[in-house]
Structure 1
Amino acid sequence: MTKIHAKYLGVLDQLPDPYDCERADIGIKRLIEAIQKLPESDTNSDLLEIVQSPDGSKLLASMFGNSPFLTQASVSDPGFLSTLLLQGPDESYRRALSPLKCSKILSIRTIVPSQTAKTLRMVKRRAALTIALADIAGLWTEPRVVQAISELADSSISHSVKHLLLQAHETGTLILPDPGDPEFGSGYIVLGMGKLGAQELNYSSDIDLIVVYDPEVISTTAPLKLQQNLVRLTRNLIQLLSERTEDGYVFRTDLRLRPDPSATPLAISVEAAEGYYEGLGQNWERAAMIKARQVAGDGRAGERFLERLAPFVWRKNLDFATIQDIHAIKRQINAHRGADTMSVEGHNVKLGRGGIREVEFFVQTQQLIWGGKHPELRQIKTEDALRMFANKGLIADSTAKELVDAYWYLRKVEHRLQMIADQQTHEIPPDEEGLCHIATFLGNKNSEEFRETLTGYLINVEGHYAQLFEEHSDPAREITPGNLIFTGTDDDPGTLQTLRQFGFGDASAVADIIRNWHRGRHRAMRTERARQILTDLVPQLLAAFGDSPDPDGALRRFDGFLSALPSGIQIFSLFRENPSLLKVVAEVMGSAPRLAGHLGRRPGLLDYVLEPEFYGAIPDEQTLEREIRGILAAAPDFETCLNQSRIWAGDRMLQVGIHALRRLAPWSNISAAISNIAGSVISALAEQVHAEFSKQHGRISGGRWMVLGMGKLGGREMTPSSDLDLIVIYDHDAGAHKSDGKKSLAPGQYYSRLTKRLINSLTAPTAEGNLFEVDMRLRPSGTAGPLASHIDAFTKYHDESSWAWEHMALAKARAISGNAEFINQVNQVIEKTLTRTREPIQLLADVAGMRGRIDKEHRTDSILEIKYFRGGIVDIEFIVQYLQLRHAADHPSILCVNTASALKNLAAHKLLDHSDAELLQRVLSIFQSIQGHLRLTLEGQLDGRSLLMLPKPLQRSLADLGDFSIPEDLEVFLETLATRVFTVFKKIFGDAPAG
């Protein structure tokens, strides 16, 4: 007789069939091989017997044939699988969590930090396997399943907090009243929100936390650094739970439900939190706090905190303002819940029509309105709340039963979807194969039976949801103060006409955006006060945006900006009190899409924009580099480092961009500042990338590397949209054959991979946006060559193989990062290449031929494409670089990476006619200003557009750059200047094949 636990024997006939029998067989074979590798013991013999028995193989096939994740979890831990099959799920779950259940911790010195992370992940893996098998076998109900997942999360968080609090105690940061029970009296409070708070976590849930602390309770040796230290502790808590290691992860952790998450630290004081909720808390936050539950930390302090928040969450009187918000929220849900025809394939069981979210919304809205008067409705669990609604007569008993049944069925579907690969997905597969898989895993005979069952529950939920607060005339909404022209659903003809007069193209879309503001569609407009202030600002907003180069785009970007704000009263008041700030924001939104995107992510910068220093001179490169190096050095991990680099660069680029828009500096200063920002972030990131890279691969003996900036970066002539042209060069000790890390690499491979990491650090998009695009094609041999060049190869290449056009590129090469000695060595190679004696006729032909090829590829008739237009920026650069190569052998001091400075040098040495040099300098300044302004204000390519095809405000802005009142005059003027430049070009290159 098989030794499998008796509970399993009773459900063998109810198990779902394996969807993939071949995968099930392979999984069982892998498990048998894993068992056979274990030391001989009675337990392992029993496990092998179970696995090879018909009953055991049927049970395992049900898991292995449906879930690759559960297969791997079983095969990787056969010892625990033995416990699960022999002892049953209840005892196995208790044993799985037992390492986390000890309430006393003796000393942090007895616990290796990495072991804590390993233990947490082992417990998670074992508990997840137990819960899954109990669910699949039907031994646990869905309420028991979510309870078990939530208990696992509670224990994991609590264990982690104990570990970190004791660590803080033993390092002297905190003074705990009872180090043996670190949470007791610690003053550190961790609240579980959402499904964790309600003890309804799904199988692959994120966990939502809010961390607060009570400084009146906490004892610390450093009171002035208390928040800083607790933020660090909280960050470590997130890392302990979320970081993926070779052992997996525990729970993905999200702290964005805390008050004002974009502006507050990860841990805030209870006083600050209470002040926020009392003064700025919105109805969605009231709804979120319904499910708030302390999951770790100081129990007494947490209980007091939640008691003090009760008046914010539960209001005694029927809240009509809340009802208005609920109407707005419901309309938003309706707008995103899919098409009229319900299709099972691809349906989102959480967010889609008839889904889990609609059940939860049904519950929370009733609680918000009635929970103040009826404390018994303040249930954190969905099922408990629904049954209590029925008890109080708020809904029919049949409604409660149908919603409860649907809720748990949908949760079961959600769990099976997530068990397959341990992914947080809520979507039914869109294809028939995937549909059959999930149907089989749920125990259905076929996909059609599953489709009918799921559709029935979705329709039930949708029907009850649709009856919730059916739309009706609400006098309270009609008397909301503000501009009533934007109320209702239909466009007012007079309003559309006014909007067109302001300069908007799609007046109906603009009216719709503003109507949504009044309806409170964004969090920032959820309070009546915020809507009042914004209503007063609307005429000024429309006038300011209408005067920007792209009025419709400006309003859309501003709407996006508002949608990201956690609250609106402060910023709207800031606009009202500072009209000049509103004008700046309108300029950014309407003129500079990239800057608008960054401002949308960092609205807190508006305070800085008001400071006088914001409009002062941009710091020099050394100051910028010190600034960003300090920021990155303080980052706790590399991901934070990448995000901080983007935040810093974006902040500085916003400052520079506004300087450019407001003409606070000549364009030469603007482009130099952009180049300095880029150079500083490259240099700082190169150091961080190398440090991170060396953790795995070590260092090369005597290794040194440097980054050359080429093109506009090298010449300090960047525009806001410039790529980074880079070359990476390295050297090392002659006897160094590989790095000294645990994954050693040969030098060439080492520096190529390191360079790739640097490129990725500069180009990878993160939550904080992008930095720069990188172009490495100017390296020796171009795309055919290695990403990083050894100094000897770099020297030999330019001694023997490089072309004249590559020497022209080297004329703009500038060291961006590296140690001074190695930079000097590389500069000597560059100088040697640039100052070699050349055959004048051949050089002239080479340079003119290259210009001809460029003209053939990029020929344009639009003067606005000022780079390639004949007589434009490229022609000026070719003149300068040709003359530098022609004369540097005799006059090395003419060499300069900056085109304008190089023109001065050439004139000073009488290598370029003085009047021609003055013309070229003047034209270059004008052309670079026009080009820079266009790159700042327009997205995408000009595609041959003329000046008069641009938006009229942009035409006026460009005309102002040239001191013209009429845009047509500017276009004629630019073409005249280009003709004069091309005359100089032909004078120098003569009859050479210039194209």
Structure 2
Amino acid sequence: MDRSQLRLGDFAGEPIFPMSEDGEAAALSELAALVSTGDGLPSFLSDAENRLTRFLAAAMSLSPFLSENARSHPPLLAAVDQPVVPQIEAEIEATRADWRTDGTTDASLMVHLRRRKRRVAFLLALADLAGILKPDEITDLLSRFASAAVAATIDHLLKSAGDEGKLKLSDSDAPSRGSGVVVLGMGKLGASELNYSSDIDIVVFFDPDAAIIPDAWEARELFPRLMRRLVRILQERTGDGYVFRTDLRLRPDPGSTALAIPVEAALLYYEGRGQNWERAAYIKARPIAGDLAAGEAFLAEMTPFIFRKYLDYAAIADIHSIKRQIHAHKGFGLIAVNGHNVKLGRGGIREIEFFVQTQQLIAGGRMPQLRCRRTIDALEALCAANWIDRATADELTASYWFLRNVEHRIQMVRDEQSHVLPEDDAELIRIARMCGFRSIADFSKALLNALKTVEKRYARLFEREITLSDEAGNLVFTGEDDDPGTLETLRRLGFQRPEDISRVIRAWHYGRYRATQSAKARQRLTELMPALLKAFGESRRADEAILRFDRFLAGLPAGIQLFSLLQNNLNVMRLFVEIMSSAPRLAEIIAARAHIVDGMLDPALLTDIPTRSYLADHLDAFMTGAELYEERLDRLRIFAAEQRFLIGIRLMTGAISGFAAGRALTTLASLVISEALDGVLAEMEEAYGKVEGQRVAVLAMGKLGSAELTAGSDVDVIVLYDCDDPLGMSSGPKQLDVPRYFARLTQRLVAALSAPTAEGVLYEVDMRLRPSGNAGPLATRIAAFEKYQMNEAWTWEHMALSRAHPLCGDASLMRETGAIIDAVLAKPRDREKLAHDIADMRARIERDKPPKSSWDLKLVPGGLIDIEFIAQYCHLAGGVTRCGGEEVLTTDDVLVRFGPALMGEGDIEACRKALELYTNIAQLTRACINDGFEPENAPAGLLERVLRLADSPDVATLEALMADLGADVRAVFRRTVGEGGDGDM
């Protein structure tokens, strides 16, 4: 019998079983009632014994969607006894012509399309349940109708744009002909395998140079607007329902591109940034509307992207990466019946599709016969080419159609795009009976057989591959939709906002950053992803950490080297994750200076202490070959930034203490400032010559002077000079008098350190500690410095001088400066007045600049300032030299050397204990974050490290310890220095 002439009543046996006897009886009564309304329905519908009537009643009892349509639109039942296919063919042809009626508007077209969709869906559902059409015939007719609906809408939109003068159509009766508008059906629509309630996936491109386009630039705005209308026409729900939910997100980089883009832009994207899953998606692509010839030409251009010419190991690795992205197949989840996803679950439809597509991508470049759109055609082609055996092809084909039938019935129940079987048996029986099984047990047996068959064949395809899903679970970052299994995996790994994280990672895979634009970089990233996400997930506040990593990737010029490094060096990867989770400041440095990662590759990074010789050797090597002044300044900035970063890494990992970090940062600064001074001197000599007998030195003050710099500290310096004739002139073609010469030299030195260049700033420079502060000259002659310090300086200036040491410059001037410092500090002093001045200064600071919180370690009572003032009192009150003015003494050194003369051993130890803890915390937090440390706002990883420094189990315990130490230090301050008042310093 001609299959095209089959009627619903031509089924053999019982195609389906009703939901229940009561449900069937109710449906029979409803059919009889509909006949009695006189709407011209066939009389046999009121005959409860009629075989076709009983079938219709069973279908209505099983599908609320069919029942509601029959009830709301009785004419649908008028031709149920007529051949099905001719009726659907007629609807498809009429759909293609719906746009032609004069005066057709968006609204009128919407009405026509929805009414035709309702009739097609009703008839096809019944034909499917009756089993009078094969599954491939059902999917083909659904796909043809969808294609016709899209084609009619495209023609309508082009004609309306032509009527408005926005396009110049060559033929108003065939608007798409020669239009250059490419409309591709993707996925199941492209392969003519459309689901019963499927979305339709389409992509739309246009040729800006096509004859119909009067202005190429205006077209870039026009076509996206037309596509927004297309989506509304097809998917907006009205009183007549909807046609198809329409998805245009399979276009290139949908998060950042318009709904329709130029053909050339699309081809460039796929050539340079196309992803693995897009290759697989284009296997099924088919021109369905618009300029069909242009569509075929576009797909011909895409062939080298989809099917690679040569089969090599890189291609196989690439294919495997698709598999890992699309679906995690082994070790995750169980095959089940209740609640099982027949599309994405184990043994589901997706596994069959991937089984086919993987081999098509591997071999399709050399074997064109494998380039089939339909899954079952591809299985047959693979078998014919001896890629798979006959048993595999037959088993997967049978399982494919069985699962597609189940999928259709799930969707037929309420016209929902679902692929998940009901959880409860009360609903599961509905699906079983729609599939022709009387019991859940019989249905489950058949379903499990199909799922296990697919699982077995699918697993063999990758049986030698070590799966990335065994530990992690689903990691699907394709398309624009979130994969539910992936969101659950992310949540289980420790991410609080899996939807946001999934969106961020999809952006990486779309190649929106330079680092991920190459196919090889994305391949490495795909392979790295499970381990990377696992490592991030193990850090507290994993979401924040991965967002910092995202900002880093955004600034990275290339990614393949980094991804390969992280993949092959787990220790570096863990360190990388630690930075992102614990140290936002270090993460920002990496993001701004991607090359800085190179320093992390040094195997001795965490064992070598950055001593003076270590840093000097590295600096000399780094500066080799840099001749120009500006180039040397840029190199200094790069070197200093990298070394500060690496010192921060050592601090963060506990490889060095806070005291060691302070010394290392100070040594680094001294070397860099010395190098900058040499460069400035050379520049000055070239421009202005030299001053007879000139000597220049830089005096380090503040934390730079006491070797206690922290990350981001300013450098406090004083520039000292001497020469033979203070009233002389420089020797160059542009002469300067001595004061202006050394003032200009100081200005250039400050600029060399603090002026922003392409490589940033070296150090912010503070010169307010020079004699007379900002009111004094920029550079100070050594004789004036000595006179001021001996005769005019205030107590606080001698306190500052106790931390000073000559940093760099002329060796003889540095020795002379050191001797002056020794002499000043060794002067006999009135201890009572000294103590009063210091205590008064502390009281004023406490009054005028109170601490912001208990974590303001510098200003809190008993904090760093108290300890520094105690040490400075001991230094000045002792009246002894430092064993050489060039010696660098930290606050801890001063307490050890000068404290015993004025303090008890217990008081010294109390101060040193507090100083060590404060320094460790301050150095660590300032290396890791830009703002002040507060536990409630700190990165979780950093907070853990702070607690570990103090050997404290929680914040409350640490705060109690700090309060006790602060109280001890304040008591020592009072015993040693006094209470303070309003005295004049």
| Equivalent residue number for residue 20 of structure 1 | 20
Q: What do residues 369-395 of structure 1 show as CA deviations (whole Å, max 9, x unaligned)?
A: 100001111000111111011111111
Q: Distance in 1 between matches of 2:246 and 2:30?
A: 33
How big is the shift at 1:8?
3.4
1:446 aligns with 2:439: yes
| Equivalent residue number for residue 62 of structure 1 | 58
Instruction: Say if 2:98 and 2:109, in contact at 8 Å, map to a contact too.
Output: no
2:114 to 108, 121, 145: 121
Q: Distance in 1 between matches of 2:469 and 2:68?
A: 57
Instruction: Say if 1:359 and 1:461, in contact at 8 Å, map to a contact too.
Output: yes
Code of the residue aligned with 1:416 in structure 2: it is R
Code of the residue aligned with 1:105 in structure 2: it is R
| Equivalent residue number for residue 409 of structure 2 | 416
How big is the shift at 1:322?
2.6
1:171 to 164, 177, 180: 164
Code of the residue aligned with 1:7 in structure 2: it is R
Instruction: Say if 1:863 and 1:971, in contact at 8 Å, map to a contact too.
Output: no
1:403 to 396, 407, 412: 396
Give the SS at the match of 1:398.
helix
Q: What do residues 68-117 of structure 1 show as CA deviations (whole Å, max 9, x unaligned)?
A: 0011122222213212x13131122123334313287254xx21321211
Q: Distance in 1 between matches of 2:182 and 2:288?
A: 8
| Equivalent residue number for residue 149 of structure 1 | 142
1:91 aligns with 2:86: yes
Report the CA distance shift for 1:35/1:305 in structure 2 as closer, same or farther (over 3 A): same
Q: Distance in 1 between matches of 2:351 and 2:95?
A: 35
| Equivalent residue number for residue 545 of structure 2 | 555
1:300 aligns with 2:270: no
Report the CA distance shift for 1:234/1:591 in structure 2 as closer, same or farther (over 3 A): farther
Q: What do residues 917-971 of structure 1 show as CA deviations (whole Å, max 9, x unaligned)?
A: xxxxxxxxxxxx99999887789xxxxxxx9977749999xxxxxxxx9995899
Code of the residue aligned with 1:234 in structure 2: it is M
Q: What do residues 430-473 of structure 1 show as CA deviations (whole Å, max 9, x unaligned)?
A: 22222222111111131111111111111111111111133269
Report the CA distance shift for 1:561/1:324 in structure 2 as closer, same or farther (over 3 A): farther
- Count residues with an aligned counterpart: 573
Report the CA distance shift for 1:168/1:938 in structure 2 as closer, same or farther (over 3 A): farther
Instruction: Say if 1:99 and 1:119, in contact at 8 Å, map to a contact too.
Output: no
Q: What do residues 394-424 of structure 1 show as CA deviations (whole Å, max 9, x unaligned)?
A: 1101111111111011101111111111111
1:132 to 125, 129, 133: 125
Q: Distance in 2 between matches of 1:27 and 1:971?
A: 84
Code of the residue aligned with 2:7 in structure 1: it is K
| Equivalent residue number for residue 642 of structure 1 | none
Q: Distance in 2 between matches of 1:225 and 1:573?
A: 38
1:388 to 370, 381, 385: 381
CA RMSD of the aligned region, Å?
A: 5.0
Instruction: Say if 2:44 and 2:50, in contact at 8 Å, map to a contact too.
Output: no
Instruction: Say if 1:21 and 1:65, in contact at 8 Å, map to a contact too.
Output: no
> What is the correspondence of 1:467-478 to structure 2 with a 5 Å cutoff?
467-471=460-464
Instruction: Say if 2:41 and 2:78, in contact at 8 Å, map to a contact too.
Output: no
Structure 2 length-normalised TM: 0.51
Q: Distance in 1 between matches of 2:393 and 2:97?
A: 40
Q: Distance in 2 between matches of 1:378 and 1:13?
A: 39
Q: Which has the larger radius of gyration?
A: 2
2:174 to 171, 181, 205: 181
Report the CA distance shift for 1:142/1:122 in structure 2 as closer, same or farther (over 3 A): same
Q: Distance in 2 between matches of 1:77 and 1:304?
A: 43
| Equivalent residue number for residue 801 of structure 1 | none
Q: Distance in 1 between matches of 2:147 and 2:583?
A: 47
Code of the residue aligned with 2:545 in structure 1: it is L
How big is the shift at 1:321?
2.0
> What is the correspondence of 1:43-54 to structure 2 with a 5 Å cutoff?
44=40, 46-47=42-43, 49=45, 54=50
1:357 to 345, 350, 358: 350
Instruction: Say if 1:16 and 1:443, in contact at 8 Å, map to a contact too.
Output: yes
Q: Distance in 1 between matches of 2:471 and 2:107?
A: 59
| Equivalent residue number for residue 772 of structure 1 | none
Give the SS at the match of 2:310.
coil
Q: What do residues 298-350 of structure 1 show as CA deviations (whole Å, max 9, x unaligned)?
A: 11211111111111112211042231133334345663667564222211111
Q: Distance in 2 between matches of 1:222 and 1:99?
A: 34
How big is the shift at 1:277?
0.8
Give the SS at the match of 1:195.
helix
Q: What do residues 608-638 of structure 1 show as CA deviations (whole Å, max 9, x unaligned)?
A: xxxxxxxxxxxxxxxxxxxxxxxxxxxxxxx
Q: Distance in 1 between matches of 2:205 and 2:949?
A: 53
> What is the correspondence of 1:609-620 to structure 2 with a 5 Å cutoff?
none
1:226 aligns with 2:219: yes
Give the SS at the match of 2:372.
coil
Q: What do residues 783-831 of structure 1 show as CA deviations (whole Å, max 9, x unaligned)?
A: xxxxxxxxxxxxxxxxxxxxxxxxxxxxxxxxxxxxxxxxxxxxxxxxx
Report the CA distance shift for 1:45/1:312 in structure 2 as closer, same or farther (over 3 A): closer
Q: Distance in 1 between matches of 2:557 and 2:245?
A: 32
Give the SS at the match of 1:181.
coil
Instruction: Say if 2:31 and 2:45, in contact at 8 Å, map to a contact too.
Output: no
Instruction: Say if 1:18 and 1:66, in contact at 8 Å, map to a contact too.
Output: yes
1:71 aligns with 2:62: no
Q: Distance in 2 between matches of 1:131 and 1:121?
A: 15
Q: Distance in 2 between matches of 1:534 and 1:11?
A: 54
| Equivalent residue number for residue 460 of structure 1 | 453
Report the CA distance shift for 1:385/1:586 in structure 2 as closer, same or farther (over 3 A): closer
2:96 to 93, 101, 109: 101
| Equivalent residue number for residue 654 of structure 1 | none
Q: Distance in 1 between matches of 2:318 and 2:22?
A: 53
| Equivalent residue number for residue 245 of structure 1 | 238
Q: Distance in 2 between matches of 1:489 and 1:309?
A: 36
Q: Distance in 2 between matches of 1:206 and 1:568?
A: 37
Code of the residue aligned with 1:412 in structure 2: it is N
Code of the residue aligned with 2:190 in structure 1: it is G
> What is the correspondence of 1:246-285 to structure 2 with a 5 Å cutoff?
246-285=239-278
Q: What do residues 509-543 of structure 1 show as CA deviations (whole Å, max 9, x unaligned)?
A: 99xx99xx99x9956569564269989x99xx99x
Q: Distance in 1 between matches of 2:961 and 2:246?
A: 55
Q: Distance in 2 between matches of 1:329 and 1:67?
A: 37
| Equivalent residue number for residue 894 of structure 2 | none
Code of the residue aligned with 1:58 in structure 2: it is R
> What is the correspondence of 1:497-576 to structure 2 with a 5 Å cutoff?
527=518, 529-530=520-521, 552-557=542-547, 572=559
Code of the residue aligned with 2:377 in structure 1: it is D
